[in-house]
Amino acid sequence: MNVTYKGYMCDVSFAQYGNGNNAIQLIGSEGTDYEGELVGVASVNGELKLEDDVVGIKTWSENEGIDQSLIDGGVIEPELLGLEPTGFVAIEHYKLTAASLEEIEKLKEVKS
């Protein structure tokens, strides 16, 4: 999966946090000047254990606008499911798209 974030063409890399919550990083796409480099960490792991099809997105500070990039790239659904307060900010929870869930399942099969 690919997204464009702040003018950077990125590959979406899925993983999981230690508690099983979904994690998303944006990595510079092949053929770009920043190929393979970490462009941004889209997700954040809060205190809550989320459903398998939900991800917490960091939308503050340097990540402003990342939610829209993920929506436009077909990674997350556009509907905000809820907020998880954490300090002075709140983690935004979104449902992953069917395409994202397929990518996550492929990774699980490879690890098995």
Which two tokens mark 38?
């970490």
Would you say residue 73 has pLDDT above 70?
A: yes
Domain boundaries in the chain?
A: 2-111
**Over residues 36-57, mean pLDDT:** 97
Q: Choose among 13, 14, 15, 9: nearest CA to 29.
A: 9
Find the radius of gyration of the CA atoms of the chain: 13
pTM: predicted TM-score of the whole model, two decimal places: 0.94
Q: Is the pLDDT of residue 112 over 90?
A: no
